[in-house]
Amino acid sequence: MILLTGATGFIGRALYAHLTSQGLSVRVVVRTRIDEFPEDQVVMPVGPETNWEQALVSIDTVIHLAAHLHVMHANAEDERHFSEVNLQGTARLAESAATAGVRRFIFLSTVKVHGERTHGMAFSEQTPLRPQDAYARSKVEAEYELKRIGQASGMEVVIIRPPLVYGAGVKANFFQLLRLVKHRLPLPLGGIHNARSLIYLGNLVDAIGMCIKHPLAANESFLVSDGKDLSTIELVILMSQAMGMDARIFSVPLPLLRLVGKLLRRDAMVDRVVDSLQINSSHFRERLGWSPPMSVEDGIKATVKWYLDHL
């Protein structure tokens, strides 16, 4: 049986549907009882004092998605939650899982543990960990704790570091870009020449599913992506085409774009639009024999269809 935390989130809901469609038994951890899940759900927070004993009965694999999520301008309260949930809560669950005899612990980390941008060379699993904010630091520290616990107990640990995830239910910057394209607002992106790795939600849950039993996934860290990187302009063009319209793009000098972002206190958002962030996911593909079920083009089409259906 699988214990899934973060089951009500963007990735968690899709992963739950994927796993149960394959006939796997899943016990979900939720903060409040949810009618859409079956009776086998555990209502509890993820934190440094959580008692996991009953939740882990008969569990073979833990998939830990629950986290205090990244925010643009984290305050002291956010930083406290990053530590309590992402680090201490993860360590508490892993220690309890090891004590309960859980075979494998799968942890969803982030590409941000390597940094915020790339400069000509994609991140790989060998790239040093250089987190730039409190969220990423909490994930790095959680990874170290998991490896320590795994080595001490023999529990297999699998760490997955995805880039930006998109698909049905996506929020934040990707959703905002969909809105801008749909309203045919001219976008000042013509001077941007970047490349960013993405992963479609369906591809990510498929990759996580493969890590449950594959023997070569044990005690590995993986970067995963769709395998084809896009510039911001290419992303807007694909969105526009999926909506049956032409992209409306004009050029603004990049320094001016950054200056406007800084004046509007949207510099972090501008960075994500103009900078490159590429990953090399060949290790995961080659070691596990995996290929993404959906191309990036079809993933964008499916996401646009969801967006238009829910206007």
Query: Which residues form the catalytic set?
Result: 135
DSSP state of 216: G
Rounded distance between C-alpha atoms, residue 163 and residue 277, angstroms: 8
Q: What's the distance, CA 71 to chain centroid?
A: 14
Rounded distance between C-alpha atoms, residue 63 and residue 61, angstroms: 7
* Dihedral of the alpha carbons of 201, 265, 182, 299, in degrees to the nearest 10: -20
Rounded distance between C-alpha atoms, residue 278 and residue 157, angstroms: 25
Rounded distance between C-alpha atoms, residue 236 and residue 232, angstroms: 6
Pick from 244, 279, 42: which is nearest to 160 by CA? 279
Rounded distance between C-alpha atoms, residue 235 and residue 296, angstroms: 10
Q: How far is CA 239 from each of CA 10, 210, 233, 293, rounded to the nearest angstrom?
A: 20, 29, 10, 20
